[in-house]
């Protein structure tokens, strides 16, 4: 019975992480990058998956062994660092949640024809309902799994109807015609950047999956989470490639919706609405849960009223969207800062992996350390470049 419960927790954490990654931006990015790189985008996806797995294994293993959340690990290394990381996570989580609420509203608009604002309110209420349940953690796990399966089934169907050139896609995944490093970094940031990787890592901790003895289970859950997100990415890439290979014109204002419609007509557009809604509402839940998990260890009151604060976070996100729409400047700032969260948190985790007062006599795999250091340097360089271009080189 216990092993079944553990398996449910492991899959729940994996799907929470994956569905947190698969938001409105994830869907749009995949379609747009397929347009620009064609079949060679398969290579970019493959490399980003390998990097994602390395990043997530580093973070989840150290969280499990230390039995501490990321902000507490950071504060043990350098007092105040945990508070700084939590500030970045909560700012990014709030900004992106406003976009997620909007995406859920757009999804219901495409699916049912209801106004976007009404759809946003309905989505916020549904998200809140998860945290009103007595066993909110289990309800969140099950909802993430259900929505994850819905997205996978629908996107596989659209991929088949679009009849992509599978042989060419397979060839260019191994032998690409062009490689875009910036696209790889963007995909990595969108899959394990910001709060996303911690959604699953903190969920395992909250569910009692911790300590050295459970590392094999943690590894399984970490890889499963990346695999679910990758499955959606790959089939959406194939669906987009099928439409592009036929020479059909994709609408730049709604690229993913356009792919679904061109592949399967009006039914396709309705299914796009379903996928957009599922992607957005699970991201609303994942973002709210993880943002609050980054501040709850700072106060017993927050810990005692965690679900109420998560609900407040969702209400706040929805209220801002309903009042002023998507705050573009806040999204730009949060997006730029979000790029720094991964290198800062990953570097913190790598240092912590060698501190006996945090992990005891645990020996972190050397290959994960080397891999992690490389990602920290690359992501720092790329994030720095983006911030310099955005805030210092952009025209007034």
> pTM above the 0.85 mark?
yes
Q: Average pLDDT, whole number, for the chain?
A: 92
pLDDT of residue 214: 96
Taking residue 150's Cβ as centre, other Cβ atoms within 10 Å add up to 17
List pLDDT tens digits, range 80-129.
Answer: 999 999 998 998 899 889 999 999 999 999 999 999 999 999 999 999 99
- Which one, of 328, 271, 303, 37, lies nearest residue 157 by Cα? 271
User: Among candidates 116, 95, 100, which has minimal Cα distance to 327?
Assistant: 95
The burial class, CB within 10 Å (0-12 / 13-18 / 19+), for 328 is exposed
What distance in Å separates the CA atoms of residue 198 and residue 346, rounded to the nearest whole number? 11
Digit-coded pLDDT (tens) for 67-80: 999 999 999 999 99
Query: Which string of DSSP letters, residue by residue, matches 10-22?
Result: HHHHHHHHHHHHS
C-alpha 76/C-alpha 66 separation (Å) is 11
Domain ranges of the chain: 2-391
Identify the residue with better confidence: 391 or 325.
325
- 2-391 maps to which CATH number? 1.20.1740.10
Q: Are 24 and 278 in contact (CB under 8 A)?
A: no
pLDDT score, position 192: 86
Q: What pLDDT band is residue 392 in, cutting at 50, 70 and 90? A: confident
Residue 8's pLDDT band, with cuts at 50, 70 and 90, is very high
pLDDT tens digits, one per residue of 133-160: 989 999 999 999 999 999 999 999 999 9
Distance separating alpha carbons of residues 104 and 123, to the nearest angstrom: 6
């Amino acid at each position: 019975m216990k092993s079944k419960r553990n398996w449910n927790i492991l899959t729940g954490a994996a799907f929470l992480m994956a569905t947190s990654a698969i938001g409105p931006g994830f869907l749009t990015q995949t379609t747009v990058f397929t347009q620009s790189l064609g079949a060679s985008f398969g290579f970019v996806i493959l490399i980003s998956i390998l990097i994602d797995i390395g990043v997530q294994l580093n973070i989840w293993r150290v969280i499990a062994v230390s039995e501490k959340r990321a902000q507490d690990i950071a504060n043990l290394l350098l007092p105040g660092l945990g508070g700084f990381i939590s500030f970045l996570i909560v700012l990014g989580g709030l900004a992106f949640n406003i976009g997620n609420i909007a995406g859920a509203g757009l999804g219901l608009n495409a699916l049912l024809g209801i106004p976007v604002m009404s759809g946003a309110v309905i989505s916020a209420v549904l998200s809140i309902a998860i945290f009103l349940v007595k066993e909110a953690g289990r309800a969140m796990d099950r909802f993430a799994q259900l929505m994850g399966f819905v997205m996978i089934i629908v996107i596989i169907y659209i991929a088949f109807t679009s009849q992509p050139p599978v042989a060419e896609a397979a060839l260019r995944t191994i032998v690409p015609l062009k490689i875009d490093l910036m696209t790889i970094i963007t995909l990595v940031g969108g899959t394990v950047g910001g709060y996303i990787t911690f959604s699953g890592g903190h969920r395992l901790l909250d569910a009692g999956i911790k300590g050295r003895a459970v590392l094999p289970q943690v590894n399984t859950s970490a890889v499963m989470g990346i695999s679910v997100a990758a499955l959606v990415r790959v089939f959406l890439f194939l669906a987009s490639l099928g439409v592009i290979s036929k020479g059909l014109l994709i609408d730049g204002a709604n690229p993913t919706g356009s792919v679904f419609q061109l592949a399967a007509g009006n039914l396709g557009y309705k299914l796009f609405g379903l996928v957009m809604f599922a992607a957005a509402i699970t991201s609303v839940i994942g973002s709210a849960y993880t943002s609050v998990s980054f501040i709850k260890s700072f106060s017993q009151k927050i810990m005692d009223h965690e679900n109420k604060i998560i609900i407040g976070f969702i209400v706040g996100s929805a209220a801002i969207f309903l009042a002023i729409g998507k705050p573009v400047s806040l999204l730009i700032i949060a997006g730029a800062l979000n790029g720094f969260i991964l290198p800062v948190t990953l570097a913190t985790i790598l240092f912590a992996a060698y501190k006996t007062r945090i992990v005891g006599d645990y020996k972190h795999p050397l290959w994960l350390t080397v891999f992690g250091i490389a990602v920290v340097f690359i992501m720092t360089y790329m994030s720095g470049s983006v911030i310099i271009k955005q805030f210092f080189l952009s025209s007034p």
